[in-house]
Amino acid sequence: MPELPEVETVRRGLAPIMEGAVIARAHVNRPDLRWPFPARMADRLSGQRIVRLGRRSKYLLADLSSGETLIVHLGMSGRMQVSGSTLGTFHHDHPAPQKHDHVVFDMEGGARVTFNDPRRFGAMDLWPTADIERHWLIEKIGPEPFSNEFNETYLANALKPRRMPIKTALLDQRIVAGLGNIYVCETLHRAGISPKRSAGSLSRARAGSLVPIIRDVLSEAIAAGGSSLRDHRQADGALGYFQHGFRVYDQEDAPCVTADCAGTIRRIVQSGRSSFYCPQCQR
């Protein structure tokens, strides 16, 4: 599942093509993905200008001139592919239609953005822009990691009453938006905190220290184009490469890279997900 860096990388790739541009024609090639598409979605999108292309947690948000916002979730295998336009120094011609091209946006000027999703775990919806924070997918999401609301005091207060493992707490989208398994593992290793540690047992200072580490990990991942595991690709089809810098994620039995640590990375399962950590330097 793409996490915040992957979705932000896709947003940045799409913005030069879509932001401020008009959707000349939208084509919806099936009635649903994970859930049914909204009624008359193609008609409601066609002819609308994308005023702003934003992101909330793991969702892309395209604010339209109609006063509605298109919400896009990439799911497990969804890709937003650009063709008929130049990205950087490369021109991408329109490819032949593919079996899993479920939604196609033909933009004025000739560019095309295609949502391809083989597993169909992605989703799209339309919702009034002025009321977007009350959409059922978004209304309970916590603060964005780069926002002013996400600070040391906030996180310390949010974690204090939690008796769950810190790994589970940081994956809770109600506490902080956009974090997934990969970047929580990487954050906890840099912080020297075991994923098994109770969230509420952390001191205020140690809980607060996670804020800049989370931001550093996410910033580095965004700069690297995300982590290209399984199906993720950038809007121009390129691979991200943050996975080449993983310190713990998917590094089971590898030596710990922390200076002066002779530990070995271990894998455990928490709430059905793999956690990778060093038992020696993460306490």
Q: What is the pLDDT of residues 228-267, one digit of tens each?
A: 444 444 445 454 444 446 899 989 999 999 999 999 999 9
- Judged by average pLDDT, the poorest of 36-45, 61-70, 97-106, 157-166 is 97-106
Residue 144 lies in a domain: no
93 has a pLDDT exceeding 90: no
Residues 124 and 226 in one domain: no
Among the listed residues 58, 112, 233, 247, the single catalytic one is 58
Contact 244, 221 (CB under 8 A): no
| Three-class SS state of 7 | helix
The arithmetic mean of pLDDT across residues 100-105, rounded, is 96
d(CA 100, CA 84): 19
Residues 207 and 262 in one domain: yes
58 is catalytic: yes
Domain that holds residue 23: 4-134
Residue 140 lies in a domain: no
d(CA 10, CA 61): 12
Here the contacts of 129-133 (C-beta below 8 Å, separation 24 or greater) are 129/63, 129/64, 129/67, 129/68, 129/69, 130/67, 132/56, 132/61, 132/69, 132/71
Q: What is the CATH number of the domain that holds 60?
A: 3.20.190.10
- What's residue 227's pLDDT? 58
3-state secondary structure 237-256: CCCCCHHHHCCCCCCCCCEC
- What's residue 94's pLDDT? 79
Residues 49 and 109 in one domain: yes
pTM across the whole model:
0.88
Residue 142 lies in a domain: no
Q: What is the pLDDT of residues 150-161, one digit of tens each?
A: 999 999 999 999
139 is catalytic: no
Among the listed residues 3, 6, 68, 186, the single catalytic one is 3
196 is catalytic: no
Residues 87 and 157 in one domain: no
What is the number of other CB atoms lying within 10 angstroms of the CB of residue 275?
22
Residues 83 and 193 in one domain: no
- What's residue 142's pLDDT? 98
Three-point CA angle 182, 187, 190, nearest 5°: 130
Residues 118 and 160 in one domain: no
Residues 99 and 176 in one domain: no
- What's residue 225's pLDDT? 72
CA dihedral sign, ordered 277, 271, 141, 35 = positive
- Judged by average pLDDT, the poorest of 75-84, 151-160, 201-210 is 75-84
Tell me how many domains the chain contains. Answer: 2
- What's residue 91's pLDDT? 56
195 is catalytic: no
The arithmetic mean of pLDDT across residues 207-214, rounded, is 98
108 has a pLDDT exceeding 60: yes
